[in-house]
Structure 1
Amino acid sequence: MVEIETGTILIADPFLKDPNFKRTVVFLCDHEPAGSFGFVINRKHNTILSDLLPDLSGCDFPVYYGGPVQMDALHFLHQRPDIISDGIEVANGIFWGGNFETVSVLLQNNTLKQNHIRFFIGYSGWGEGQLQDELKEKSWLTTKGNKKLVFHRDENLIWQDAIKQIGGDYEQIIHYPIDPTLN
């Protein structure tokens, strides 16, 4: 387990009951004493980018459910600072935000690939001390954020792969049922 900081991955405990975070993985883009902010990276939303932005007609990039806060806001993470300016590097090679006009042009001319960028509707947020309390309650496991997890090709494997990254005895929980009372 790693110390919580910007760029940390939060892995939901297998028995976490909150439906917003059941078996989720959250990438923290900002962590400060006043609060934390990040995106669920392993849950696709039921829409594609062109549904939200008609100017990007035909762009079938998936949109991910970033979290339950501000569901009317679109955010993005990318790994292309060479062509997308003004992003904030959150972890090694992972950038949050940037010039959206540039992103729009890059999408329209098919320069950006799906493994370069992830779009999120909403975000996950914690107020002062809230995330620390959830960590004390053992609601989350932690590991270092990296491009392999954040831009994983199969969102259905991110939770398991994040736990495998921790290693050791934690790998056993991959096989735990969602509701142990049903066994």
Structure 2
Amino acid sequence: MVTLSPGLLLIADPFLKDPNFSRTVVLLCDHQEKGSLGFVINRLFDQPLNELIPEVLLNNIPVYYGGPVQMDTIHFIHRTPELISGGQEILPGVFWGGQFEDVISALNRGLLDSSQVKFFLGYAGWTEGQLDEEVKEKSWIVSQTGAGLIFDAEEQQIWQQSLRNLGSSFAMMANYPIDPSLN
């Protein structure tokens, strides 16, 4: 059994039918006995940040669908602890959260761009024991990652690339059709 911890990726099994998570990759940010929380890193939301937060002056900052829970909240991960105070390091060089005012200020002053921060509308959440059970049932493939895949990869390629990074036995899964009965 895999030991779940912040910073791991949860790669959706190719045949996972839940429309919220089909062909997604979730960055796990918190995993405790009482529950787990993460963000879908490869599903772009249809509005940029400035349409959701008018204080943001830039109009090209993407927002991602973080998950189906609390779709009225915005969360973020970043690589700039020197600009954003209060974040929690979830893997080397990647921080979850921090002072939202710091983020807005850094964006508006041109000190931050989308290669350093990623925003999410909502989050993926699991109750006590739920994620462990889903991993045991093989709904998720658990993997380690680095900041490059999270911040630099094209969102349409993250799911396939995550599987390929696991080696040849998983790489072929990246080409599985969504519905094998149509093949």
TM-score range, shorter chain: over 0.9
Q: Percent identity?
A: 51
TM-score computed with the length of structure 1 as normaliser: 0.96
For the residues of structure 1 that align with 2:130 and 2:57, how far apart are their CA atoms?
40
User: Aligned Cα RMSD in Å?
Assistant: 1.3
| Structure 1 unaligned regions, length at least 5 | none
Question: What amino acid is the match of 1:40?
Answer: V
Q: Quick check: 2:38–2:124 contact (8 Å CA) kept in 1?
A: yes
- 1:148 partner SS: helix
Counterpart residue number, 1:170 = 170
Write the letter of the residue equivalent to 2:108.
Answer: Q
C-alpha separation in 2, matches of 1:6 and 1:53: 28
1:48 is displaced (CA, Å) by: 0.4
Deviations 1:97-155 (A, max 9, x none): 11111111111111101100000000000001111111121101010132012113310
- Answering whether residue 147 of structure 2 is matched by residue 147 of structure 1, we say yes
TM-score (norm 2): 0.96
The letter of the residue matching 2:110 is N
Does the aligned pair in 2 maintain the 1:59–1:107 contact within 8 Å? no
For 2:170 and 2:79, the matched residues in 1 are separated by: 29
The residue that corresponds to 2:63 in the other structure is 63
SS in 2 for 1:47: coil
Please tell me whether the aligned partners of residues 27 and 145 of structure 1 are also in contact (alpha carbons under 8 angstroms). no
User: Given residue 23 of structure 2, which amino acid in structure 1 is its aligned partner?
Assistant: R
Q: Would the aligned equivalents of 2:58 and 2:107 in 1 still touch at CA under 8 Å? A: no
- Report how many residues are paired: 183
For the residues of structure 1 that align with 2:66 and 2:113, how far apart are their CA atoms? 20
- Provide the residue aligned with 1:106 in structure 2: 106
5 Å matches for 1:121-132? 121-132=121-132
**Which has the larger strand fraction?**
1
Instruction: Please identify runs of 4+ aligned residues in structure 1 that moved more than 4 A.
Output: none
Aligned equivalents of 2:57, 2:87: Cα separation in 1: 24
Q: CA deviation at 1:177?
A: 0.3
